[in-house]
Structure 1
Amino acid sequence: MEDPKQNELLKSLLNKSMKVKITDGRVLIGIFLCTDRDSNIVLGSCKEYTSQSAIESGSIEPRSIGLSMIPGQHIVQLFTDESIHS
């Protein structure tokens, strides 16, 4: 059964910047486009960083990967914030 509050939350996150940390330590930043019942997510205009420290130091250029599907089982943390620049 669907929870209307959860649906509204997901709708409010659509087309917002999202940062995703995955199990191998990489960080992906992109525009949240969709999710499914298995917690997989799709990011558009996605950039890949080797680690959080690479983002903070600015020493390593991100790899632009465009459209990216991230399996839910590999997601460690999600961050949403209008101030995230992708």
Structure 2
Amino acid sequence: MIEENGPSAHESEVSSSSQARQKLEGLLNKNMRIRMTDGRTLVGLFLCTDRDCNVILGSAQEFLKSSDTFSQGEPRVLGLAMIPGHHVVSIEVEADSLEDAEGFGANH
């Protein structure tokens, strides 16, 4: 007879999945800066993602890679943009205020 002590592997997997979902839901409608493999940077509101890590940004603006590190030039307005997950290099959440920046890593 097999006895179980604590949650099963499936239960802990579901728990971590729901925690990840809650974190993603907390980022909805936040400004994000996404750097892509070709050097472009997109900034916009995080609207959704999927299992393949594709990201949809609303009110997106594109900044081209610049040879001058101090100036990024004028942004190109894209509106609604889909970034394929395999092109994402990094994602940053832009904090609206100091409180948001401090609260991002905290458990709520």
Q: Sort the TM-score into its range (normalised by shorter chain).
A: 0.7 to 0.9
CA distance in 2, matches of 1:54, 1:30: 23
Counterpart position of 1:71: 84
Q: How does 1:5-84 map to 2 (within 5 A)?
A: 5-51=19-65, 56-57=70-71, 60-83=73-96
1:35–1:26 Cα change, 3 Å: same
CA distance in 2, matches of 1:41, 1:54: 28
| TM-score, normalised by the number of residues in structure 2 | 0.69
**Per chain length, whose mean CA-contact separation is higher, i.e. which structure has more relative contact order (CA < 8 Å, sep 6+)?**
1
1:27, 1:52 within 8 Å by CA — same for their partners in 2?
no
Equivalent position amino acid for 1:50 in 2: L
| TM-score, normalised by the number of residues in structure 1 | 0.85
1:48, 1:63 within 8 Å by CA — same for their partners in 2?
yes
1:16, 1:32 within 8 Å by CA — same for their partners in 2?
yes
Shift of 1:53: 7.2
Structure 2 residue runs of 5 or longer lacking an equivalent are 1-12, 97-108
CA RMSD of aligned residues (A): 2.0
Shift of 1:10: 0.4
Structure 1 residue runs of 5 or longer lacking an equivalent are none
